[in-house]
Amino acid sequence: MSTAKELPHEKAEWKGYTLDELRYMRAYTAARIEISRDRLKRNFTGLKKANPVKSGGMLGKVLGTLSYLDIALVTFRLGSKAFKVMRWFKRK
């Protein structure tokens, strides 16, 4: 006995989905998307609250106002400048 599901559109007598079936599938998909979106927002909010950069001090206050993307861009730019300076010192 096979455990594979037979899809409705593979049957010869299948005439298509009814309007009610289409509406049900559309509502079910919209509910699934909404639940996933809420779960993602809740996870992101928890991640934002647990930001280790927002500790006390001036550096924490400055970095606390920046988003993660801003911090990543600043770090990349500073890192590339530091590597250029290190290469310059190696040549001498």
Query: What is the chain's pLDDT, residue by residue, as a tens digit (92 residues)?
Result: 567 777 777 787 888 889 999 999 999 999 999 999 998 888 877 666 655 555 566 766 666 777 778 878 888 999 999 988 888 888 76
Q: What is the pLDDT of residue 26?
A: 96
Residue type, 69: L
Nearest alpha carbon to residue 84 among 71, 40, 14, 76: 76
Rounded to whole angstroms, how far apart are CA atoms 62 and 10?
A: 61
pTM over cut 0.75 = no
The kind and range of the H/E element at 9 are none
User: What local confidence, expressed as pLDDT, does residue 36 receive?
Assistant: 93
